[in-house]
Structure 1
């Protein structure tokens, strides 16, 4: 791969230390979309792929440890060819162990996909597009590799859900980040983090762009919720003393929110964007 940006270098280090962490927290977390509850955000993406026997190539972009590809492989669907790409060799090692040859995996960057023009029917991506440098080049590559009329569907971070543990965490985190001596390291393009920005980015080369809000349930006892929040990129980049301070203040702050069963509410706001590649 070419020389990496500071943000890409950080992401590689993070996923070397915490390979599989995304699936750990979200593979079994129920998600609500338009009042309907689904098993997980991964299952929303899996459902985008039709279940017929038509030959179809599906690419999981930034496939991580291969959980989404495994869901598709378990269909044992005739004609379904699975591809995965990730820039982390550690995540790909986990994916190889999980998939056992059920998908063809590639080490690489989304800005330079190693696939032929018009060779992919469906591109899926889970919690990755909002982290990518030069997102316009990424979208150019998606348009290039997708067949005319092909589908792209991505799950990305969304708006903060008010009134629960994530809002408490975000409020406590902000001053700690501001006080850190290290410079702020932006991840990805901020336009990807808003519905308006997504519409602008996908207005060229795509049709039928649909953006749906998601609410992902991560409820649990305060310590379990903290364990998920501390593996967010922002918390991970805190110095050890700042992270320890955040842990103590967070656990104290959410204690009054405990319900009768000992859990606290933890909701992750996300979005799902689905679009069709424009025919020439």
Structure 2
């Protein structure tokens, strides 16, 4: 078995402690895309899968606690076969409990997918591609397992939305990260975090690449917003003293942002990339 990299070891520890945290914060957070509002980023990915009755195999890559697979399973759609893969045994245990056999789940890495060549119609992935080591190998694996003309759609992090709680949080976090004594541990490939980088990565073996900006609404009371922000990877890796300092500073900094109902604006910038696997033989 492949020994986890330092980044993978951290992610395994994080999701062992906080299994299901991504769905907890984003499963019901409304999202805007090109002027329209949708129920969540998960629903954007679920909608990529056609609703016709033909046979179709769908893989949720880094499926977490199975929320996206559950949305698809609730269709009770004839011919739809669901697969999930995740590194974390804790996330997979949560997915197993949620799905009750509605999907076939695998523990493994995206760099070595346990699926046959040209066996999958649709690959979906929610807030995971930007965290993965050796992303070019991941994309080579996607090209291998996707059928010619198959679809891949991923949600990844995007640009910061200015003027709200996330910007205040980021500004307060930055000096604390620089002051930490532990060496900084980068997660994933920075190219996945920019439009140009994504275009370059998906240039080979994919067609009809579309990238759309998303704004996810996580508004709430300041304490609730803090609870969502403290479970980001950056804040989680702070020392306890630095995290306590960040909490106090953040709650003070967002007080001027409070609206009449007591909430503050918290918007997450994300992107959705959707592409078609090349129909040319590989």
RMSD over aligned CA atoms reads 0.3
Deviation (angstroms), 1:172: 0.2
CA deviation after TM superposition for structure 1 residue 149, in Å: 0.1
Hey, what does 2:82 align to over in structure 1?
82
- Tell me the TM-score normalized by structure 1: 1.00
For the residue of structure 2 that corresponds to 1:192, the secondary structure is helix
Instruction: Find runs of 4+ consecutive structure 1 residues off by over 4 angstroms.
Output: none
Corresponding residue SS for 2:122? strand
Match of 1:222 in 2: 222
Q: Deviations over 1:157-183 (max 9, x none)?
A: 000000000000000000000000000
Secondary structure (helix, strand or coil) at the match of 1:153 reads strand
1:120-269 maps to which residues of 2 (within 5 A)?
Answer: 120-269=120-269
User: d(CA) in 2 for partners of 1:9 and 1:67?
Assistant: 23
Q: Deviations over 1:8-46 (max 9, x none)?
A: 000000000000000000000000000000000000000
Listed one character per residue, the Cα deviations across residues 218-253 of structure 1 (whole Å, up to 9, x for unaligned) are 000000000000000000000000000000000000
Q: Secondary structure at the match of 1:256?
A: helix
Between the aligned partners of 1:84 and 1:14, the Cα distance in structure 2 is 19
Query: TM-score scaled by structure 2?
Result: 0.99
Q: Structure 1: how far apart are the matches of 2:217 and 2:257?
A: 16
Match of 2:101 in 1: 101
Shift of 1:147: 0.1
- Provide the secondary structure at the position in 2 that maps to 1:50: coil
Unaligned runs of 5+ in 1: none
Rounded Cα–Cα distance in structure 1 between residues aligned with 2:24 and 2:195:
27
Say which SS state the counterpart of residue 3 (structure 2) adopts.
coil
2:70 and 2:97 mapped to 1: Cα distance? 11
Structure 2 spans left out of the alignment, 5+ residues: none
Question: 2:269 & 2:76 partners in 1: Cα distance?
Answer: 32
User: For 2:254, what is the secondary structure of its paired residue?
Assistant: helix
Q: Which SS does the other structure have where 1:181 is aligned?
A: coil
Structure 1 residue 198: Cα displacement:
0.1
Pair 1:20-2:24 in alignment: no
Q: Spell out the pairing of 1:52-67 with structure 2 (5 A cutoff).
A: 52-67=52-67
| Distance (Å, rounded) in 1 between the aligned partners of 2:162 and 2:257 | 13
**Cα distance in structure 1, aligned partners of 2:177 and 2:221:** 25
Give the 5 Å matches for 1:28-67: 28-67=28-67
Q: Distance in 2 between matches of 1:54 and 1:172?
A: 51
Distance of 1:185 and 1:158 partners within structure 2: 20
